[in-house]
């Protein structure tokens, strides 16, 4: 395995490094939209499946939507998290790249820092 990759696979004690990948594809009626009990129920069911798998099976969730730094640290593992955070700090110090995953919060620059750049001097 290439140690420079940031992909996360479950750590295993097995000598064969066997990993199973399981995908769940859900569907819903067209009127099952954001804010409806229908969609809320599906999201809750999905969350229970993820919680059971991660608690009992050392599973990893791909395309996760974690809401806390602690969850991201657990997802990557402490060693990989430290390396990932160090690379992010080095190559993207303002956290401009890939904000959609919500792994790191964007760092806002003060508006006065850019004000002098266009004053014609």
- Give per-residue pLDDT as tens, 30-57: 898 888 999 889 989 988 887 887 777 7
Q: Would you kindly state where each structural domain of the chain is located, as residue ranges?
A: 34-63, 64-108
Its pTM stands at 0.47
> Residue 51: what pLDDT?
82
pLDDT reading at 90 higher than 90:
yes
Contact 19, 12 (CB under 8 A): yes
- Greater confidence (49 vs 62) lies with 49
Note whether 60 and 10 are within 8 A (CB): yes
- Asked whether 12 and 59 are in contact (CB, 8 A), the reply is no
CB 8 within 8 A of CB 80: yes
| Number of helices followed by number of strands (H, E) in the chain | 4, 0
């Amino acid at each position: 395995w290439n140690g420079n990759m940031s992909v996360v696979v479950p750590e295993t004690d097995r000598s064969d490094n066997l990993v199973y990948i399981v995908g769940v594809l859900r569907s819903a009626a067209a009127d099952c939209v954001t804010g409806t009990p229908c969609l809320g129920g599906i999201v809750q069911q999905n969350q229970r499946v993820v919680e059971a798998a991660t608690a009992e099976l050392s599973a990893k969730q791909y395309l996760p939507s974690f809401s806390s730094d602690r969850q991201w640290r657990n997802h990557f593992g402490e060693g990989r998290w430290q390396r990932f955070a160090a690379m992010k700090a080095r190559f993207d110090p303002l956290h401009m790249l890939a904000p959609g995953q919500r792994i790191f919060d964007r760092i806002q620059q003060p508006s006065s820092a850019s004000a002098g750049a266009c004053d014609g001097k």
